[in-house]
């Protein structure tokens, strides 16, 4: 119980800090009136400006505006978008699901790819096995450093233009359209994840229980799935929480590249025109998502490792 | 985050890049082979992919930018059109006449026309539209400037409407031909901003069915379409049944979607895509339709040092030498301009003698202007000040090729002792820098039909900021003689006199060395799998009234 409260406390803190940073950053570098009056460089007349200023409460003291913004977040009423003449909650409702779908699938795929690689490495034998292992380690390294926009462009060129197997762009959740963006997002995380799992797997392999299992004649695959993976997965699960955050930020690139709707594009647009309510709405949602994922990943750690359940959660 | 480095990045990247190149060759060769003509039939859905920003409101009266003009061309129509040679043509209005003093204009409207919601297009509707543009709550920025001089709208009878002007306005018809002053259903307007932004109601060949933000706007054919514009090759409805108007921000993705057959029309292609499309057998049609109004140009801030000295301005312009950069970066898809106005404007004049690059002349001029000392970096000095040019660049407006061109100009100017500081920033920050006068050079294209754009950009009134802080006269020219020429051109209804006045004004502005013209505002479309795509002679937006699917 105390642990959950502590988590919630830190979640509130995170949301408050991010909201404050966004509010100050956007207000310090541009005038929200621009967004209201049709974008920067607006030549709207004095009367139009005066009315907009009043109706959005921009004539109030800065502190009052800031507190009003915080109150809106606390009540999860993000107000109306300055630029698009619709409520922020509507925009979020439209754009949260596609991004969450994208990031979640990418994380799952990253795990599948990483485990597949490790399994192959663990079960390959002899001299050939050595070759396979070094090849995999090379792929791992390249995967974890390949820039996403480059990878995405190559995938489009090969699978959409060259082979014609998949569409270039995907609107929403058509399965075929999801493949390339999910792969683009998953590959760097998969490489990084495999790298982390690799190290912990080597440790687990040398542990007494793995040696015992092998001496009883268990196959490599059996040892991998029954014994070592479980041990090795822990750092991977902890990493997944962090990885999810990076997937959400990677969504900006992928959503632009594959012309998908989502939080990344929404945030980019809002920042460009200084649409403060939308920007704050998006970062709040992202912060909340991040907190939820962190909670889930620590729960999972407990499930995988019963010993942790007895320890006190910090 | 921490990242391990690959053991042999060069080899791995080499292999990766080689395979990409090989695959690209395969991909391109397979694209090139499917150019067999298919049967043309009516109906079907055309997919259009735009790289311009997604509008925040589909009603171009609100705000009023180019993305809104692009899409609203499909469902809203203006009172008058314009042919490619600049002649004003009938559209929703069949005829018009101005009084001798230029203060009263009579328009006759097409008879028996209704908006797609059944509301009649009559004099009252026109009145409602002008009032909507002038209403501060509409938050209009472009359209309201265009109808600024209309003091009062008087409906004479159903099909006759009279405009009373506060001042004669020779640009009135050009202003009314723009999408930002297009006519929409008064009943639609009466629904309020939020609803009318989602689906404005007009007389156009298509209607807005559904807007899914960040994805697309679905447009469906208006089967009762009657008000054919100047580009229509037939009376009545369009051939295609629907348009999916998609937002695809990445240029490479847009082009990939075009070649894979996912979309039939794209805008804002990159120069290399245009070159590939121009090759025989590509199966892609290229439409080059520069935007009207100003050219893309660099303006020098004559309102403060060092560019308050004409010698220093001329030195910069003589040293800049943009020609080689334009050729190599735009792969011959853009032509060097020596004019303030787009090449499509019949009133534009050009003077290339003023802009011939000559570094020697530039050095001499800087010496004469007293910038003789040099610091250790080779930057010229005067009274302890460095010859610095702050040049904020809007990454939302300047494409990659243009940003590279500015870098070349930076290097060319450095050779004679200028220190040019290029600062790539987002749109909001960019306007902020201009508003605070923190710039010596800037590139800011302005789209408007007709030469009246000169008044907006170079009349001293344009130095006075709008309430938002924005001002359009970035050269900060305050020359009474130019003001007089522009005021007279604005007031005269004699076409020849107007052309002459604008020519004189342009010559004087060019000779002030506050402007370095580069090229027309680039506006290209690529088409694959459709025919009959044309652009309007007004703001160069595409119309699909004659379009059929198939090749």
Partners of residue A49 in chain B, C-beta under 8 Å: 467-468
Residue B85 in this model has a pLDDT that exceeds 90 = no
pLDDT of A75: 79
Residue B3: what pLDDT? 35
Higher pLDDT, A84 or B546: B546
- Whether chain B has a CB inside 8 Å of the CB on A138: the answer is yes
User: Is B470 near chain A, with CB under 8 Å?
Assistant: yes
Nearest CA to CA, how far is B432 from chain A (Å)? 7
Cβ-defined contact of B259 to A142 (cutoff 8 Å)? no
Chain A nearest C-alpha distance from B426 (Å): 6
pLDDT value at residue B231: 92
Q: Which of B35-49, B247-261, B285-299, B340-354 has the lowest mean pLDDT?
A: B35-49
Q: Which two tokens stand for residue A269?
A: 């647009």
B198-209 pLDDT, tens digit each: 999 999 999 999
Could you tell me if B338 and B251 lie in one domain?
Answer: no
Q: What angle do CA B157, B161, B167 make, to 5 degrees?
A: 145
Do B273 and B300 share a domain, yes or no? Answer: no
Q: How far apart, in whole angstroms, are the C-alpha atoms of residue B264 and residue B47?
A: 6
Q: How many CB pairs under 8 A join A and B?
A: 200
Q: CATH number, domain at B458?
A: 3.10.105.10
Reading chain A (314 residues) residue by residue, the pLDDT tens digits are 666 677 778 778 877 888 888 788 777 666 666 666 655 556 666 777 777 777 777 777 778 888 887 887 777 778 888 888 788 888 888 888 888 888 989 999 998 988 888 777 767 766 677 777 777 877 877 777 778 878 888 888 888 877 878 888 876 557 778 888 889 888 888 888 888 887 777 776 667 777 777 777 777 777 777 667 777 777 778 788 778 888 887 888 888 888 888 888 888 888 877 788 888 888 888 888 888 888 887 787 777 776 665 554 43
Q: Which of A39, A46, A145 minimises the CB distance to B63? A: A39
A162–B contact, CB cutoff 8 A = yes
Residue with tokens 């156009």: B204
Residues B486 and B442 in one domain: yes
What's the CA gap between A138 and B39, in Å, rounded?
Answer: 51
Mutate which: A35, A38, A93, A258, vs B, most B CBs within 10 A:
A38
Task: Mark whether B509 and B544 lie in a shared domain.
Answer: no
CATH number at residue B140: 3.40.190.10
Query: B-chain residues within 8 Å CB-CB of A84?
Result: 56-57, 197, 213
Q: What is the pairing mode between strands B45-50 and B242-247?
A: parallel
Domain of B201?
Answer: 2-289+523-549
The answer to whether the beta carbons of residues A101 and A90 sit under 8 Å apart is no
Q: Is A145 on the interface with B (CB under 8 A)?
A: yes
B150 and B299 assigned to the same domain: no
Q: Count of domains in chain B?
A: 2
Which residue on chain A is closest to B213 by alpha carbon?
A: A261
Q: Are B550 and B326 in contact (CB under 8 A)?
A: no
Closest CA to B67 of B489, B340, B396, B516: B396
Q: Rounded mean pLDDT of chain B?
A: 89
Residue B135 has pLDDT above 80, yes or no: yes
> CB-based contact (8 Å) between B256 and chain A?
yes
Residue appearing with tokens 């997944």: A240
Cα separation, A203 vs B42, whole angstroms: 68
Q: DSSP class of residue B352?
A: G
| Distance in angstroms (rounded) separating the CA atoms of residues A26 and B35 | 50
Establish if A293 touches chain B: CB-CB under 8 angstroms.
no
Q: What is the C-alpha separation between B305 and B370, in angstroms, rounded?
A: 13
Task: Give the pLDDT confidence score for residue B39 in this predicted structure.
Answer: 46
What is the percent of chain B with per-residue pLDDT over 90, rounded to a whole number? 77
Nearest to B33 by CA among B265, B272, B282: B282
Q: Is B213 on the interface with A (CB under 8 A)?
A: yes
B279 shares its domain with B310: no
Q: Can you give the pLDDT at residue A171?
A: 63
Closest CA to B48 of B74, B84, B78, B29: B74
Which residues 168-207 of A are in CB contact (within 8 Å) with B? 168-169, 171-172, 192, 195
Least confident of A213-217, B109-113, B381-385: A213-217
Q: Residue A189: closest CA among chain B residues belongs to which residue?
A: B3
Answer whether A273 sits within 8 Å of B253, measured CB to CB: no
Q: With an 8 Å Cβ cutoff, are A145 and B27 in contact?
A: no
For chain B, percent of residues with pLDDT exceeding 70? 92
Q: Alpha helices, DSSP H only, in B231-283? A: 251-259, 271-278
Nearest residue in chain B measured CA to CA from A146: B13
pLDDT of B59: 96
Report the candidate in B418, B190, B384, B417 with the shortest Cα–Cα distance to residue B300: B418
- Contact with chain A for residue B3, Cβ under 8 A: yes
Q: Is A221 exposed, middle or buried (0-12, 13-18, 19+ CB in 10 A)?
A: exposed
- Identify the band that residue B442 occupies on the pLDDT scale cut at 50, 70 and 90: very high
Same structural domain, B435 and B542: no
| CB-CB under 8 Å, B7 with A34 | no
**pLDDT of amino acid A308:** 60
pTM for the full model? 0.85
Residue B40 has pLDDT above 70, yes or no: no
A 96-125 residues inside an 8 A Cβ radius of B: none
Instruction: Provide the residue count of chain B.
Output: 551
Domains, chain A, ranges and CATH? 2-74 (no CATH), 89-313 (1.10.3720.10)
pLDDT tens digits along B147-164: 999 999 999 999 999 999
Residue of A91, A192, A259 lying closest to B248 (CB–CB): A259
Residues whose CB falls within 8 Å of the CB of residue B411, separated by 6 or more in sequence, listed in order: none
Q: Are residues B400 and B533 in the same domain?
A: no
Q: Looking at the complex, does the CB of residue B197 fall below 8 Å from at least one CB of chain A? A: yes
Strand partners, B49: B246, B266
pLDDT at A216 (0 to 100): 73
H-run or E-run covering A236: helix A229-257
Stretch 64-93 of chain A: residues touching chain B, C-beta under 8 Å: 81, 83-86, 91
Weakest-pLDDT range from A200-204, B58-62, B277-281, B472-476:
A200-204
Specify the pLDDT at position B528: 96
Closest CA to B529 of B267, B264, B180, B209: B264
In a shared domain, residues B193 and B234 = yes
Render pLDDT for A263-295 as a digit per residue (tens, 0 to 9). 888 888 888 777 888 888 888 888 888 888 888
- Is A156 an 8 Å CB contact of chain B? yes
pLDDT band at B28 (very low <50, low <70, confident <90, very high): very low
A 208-227 residues with CB below 8 A of B?
none
User: Closest residue of B to A163, CA-based?
Assistant: B27
- Whether residues B337 and B205 fall in one domain: no
Residue B13 has pLDDT above 50, yes or no: no
- The residues in B 63-102 lying below 8 A from A, measured between CB atoms, are 63-65
The reply to whether B6 touches chain A by the CB within 8 Å rule is yes
Give the residue from chain B lying closest to A246, CA to CA: B1
Residues B283, B345: one domain? no
The answer to whether residue B35 scores a pLDDT higher than 50 is no
- Domain shared by B301 and B388, yes or no: yes
Out of B1, B246, B432, the one facing A259 most closely (by C-beta) is B246
Give the span between the Cα atoms of B497 and B13, in whole angstroms. 65
Q: What is the pLDDT of residue B6?
A: 34
């Amino acid at each position: 119980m105390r642990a959950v409260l502590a988590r919630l406390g830190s979640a509130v803190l995170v949301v408050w800090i991010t909201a404050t940073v966004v509010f100050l950053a956007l207000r310090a570098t541009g005038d929200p009136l621009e967004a209201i009056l049709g974008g920067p460089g607006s030549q709207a007349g004095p009367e139009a400006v005066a009315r907009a200023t009043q109706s959005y409460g921009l004539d109030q003291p800065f502190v009052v505006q800031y507190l009003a913004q915080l109150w809106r977040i606390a009540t999860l009423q993000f107000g109306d978008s300055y630029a698009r003449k619709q409520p922020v909650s509507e925009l979020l409702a439209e754009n949260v699901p596609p991004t969450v779908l994208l990031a979640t699938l990418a994380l799952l795929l990253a795990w599948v790819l990483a485990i597949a690689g490790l399994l192959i490495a663990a079960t390959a034998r002899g001299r050939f096995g050595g070759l396979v292992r070094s090849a995999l380690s090379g792929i791992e390294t390249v995967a974890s450093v390949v820039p996403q926009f480059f990878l995405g462009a190559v995938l489009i060129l090969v699978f959409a233009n060259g082979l014609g197997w998949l569409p270039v762009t995907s609107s929403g959740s058509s399965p075929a359209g999801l493949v390339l963006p999910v792969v683009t997002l998953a590959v760097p995380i998969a490489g990084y994840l495999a790298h982390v799992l690799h190290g912990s797997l080597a440790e687990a392999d040398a542990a007494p229980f793995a040696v015992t299992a092998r001496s009883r004649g268990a196959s490599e695959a059996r040892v991998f799935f029954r014994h070592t993976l479980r041990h090795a997965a822990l750092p991977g699960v902890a990493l997944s929480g962090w990885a999810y955050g990076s997937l959400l930020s990677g969504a900006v690139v992928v959503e632009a590249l594959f012309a998908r709707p989502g939080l990344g594009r929404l945030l980019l647009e809002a920042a460009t025109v200084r649409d403060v309510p939308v920007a704050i709405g998006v970062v709040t949602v992202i912060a909340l998502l991040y907190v939820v994922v962190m909670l889930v990943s620590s729960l999972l750690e407990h499930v995988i490792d019963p010993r942790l359940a007895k320890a006190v959660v910090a | 985050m921490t990242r391990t480095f690959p053991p042999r990045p060069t080899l791995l990247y080499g292999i990766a890049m080689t395979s990409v190149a090989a695959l690209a060759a395969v991909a391109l060769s397979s694209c090139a082979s499917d150019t067999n003509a298919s049967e043309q039939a009516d109906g079907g859905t055309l997919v259009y992919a735009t790289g311009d920003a997604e509008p925040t409101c589909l009603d171009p009266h609100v705000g009023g930018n180019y993305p809104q003009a692009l899409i609203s061309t499909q469902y809203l129509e203006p009172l008058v059109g314009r042919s490619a040679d600049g002649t004003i043509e009938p559209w929703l209005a069949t005829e018009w006449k101005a009084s001798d003093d230029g203060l009263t204009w009579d328009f006759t409207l097409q008879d028996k026309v209704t908006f797609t919601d059944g509301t009649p297009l009559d004099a009252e509707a026109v009145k409602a539209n002008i009032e909507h543009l002038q209403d501060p709550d509409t938050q209009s920025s472009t359209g309201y400037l265009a109808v600024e001089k209309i003091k009062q709208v008087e409906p004479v009878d159903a099909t006759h409407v009279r405009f009373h002007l506060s001042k004669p306005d020779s640009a009135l018809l050009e202003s009314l031909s723009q999408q930002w002053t297009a006519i929409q259903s008064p009943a639609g307007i009466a629904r309020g901003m939020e609803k009318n932004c989602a689906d404005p109601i007009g007389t156009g060949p298509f209607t807005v069915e559904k807007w899914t933000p960040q994805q697309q706007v679905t447009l469906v054919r208006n089967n009762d379409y009657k008000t054919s514009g100047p580009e229509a090759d037939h009376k009545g409805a369009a051939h295609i049944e629907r348009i999916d108007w998609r937002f695809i921000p990445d240029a490479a993705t847009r082009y990939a979607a075009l070649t894979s057959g996912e979309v039939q029309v794209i805008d804002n292609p990159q120069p290399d895509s245009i070159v590939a499309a121009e090759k025989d057998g590509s199966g892609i049609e290229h439409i080059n339709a520069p935007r009207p109004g100003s050219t893309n140009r660099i303006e020098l801030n004559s309102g403060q040092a060092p560019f308050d000295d004409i010698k220093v301005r001329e030195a910069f312009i003589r040293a800049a030498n943009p020609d080689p950069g334009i050729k190599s970066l735009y792969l011959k898809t853009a032509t060097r301009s020596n004019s303030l106005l787009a090449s499509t404007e019949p009133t534009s004049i050009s003077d290339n003698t003023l802009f011939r690059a000559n570094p020697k002349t530039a050095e001499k001029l800087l010496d004469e202007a007293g910038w003789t000392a040099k610091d250790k970096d080779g930057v010229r000095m005067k009274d302890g000040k460095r010859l610095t040019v702050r040049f904020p660049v809007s990454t939302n407006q300047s494409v990659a090729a243009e940003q590279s061109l500015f870098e070349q100009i930076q290097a060319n100017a450095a050779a004679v002792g200028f220190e040019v500081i290029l600062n790539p920033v987002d749109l909001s920050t960019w306007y902020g820098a201009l508003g605070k006068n923190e710039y010596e050079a800037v590139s800011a294209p302005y789209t408007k039909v007709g030469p009246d754009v000169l008044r907006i950009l170079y009349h001293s009134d344009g130095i006075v900021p709008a309430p938002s802080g924005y001002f359009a006269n970035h050269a900060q020219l305050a020359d009474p003689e130019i003001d007089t020429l522009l005021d007279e051109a604005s007031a005269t209804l004699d076409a020849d006199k107007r052309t002459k006045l604008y020519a004189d004004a342009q010559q004087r502005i060019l000779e002030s060395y506050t402007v370095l013209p580069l090229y027309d505002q680039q506006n290209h479309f690529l088409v694959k799998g459709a025919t009959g795509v044309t652009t309007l002679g007004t703001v160069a937006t595409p119309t699909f009234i004659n379009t059929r699917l198939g090749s």
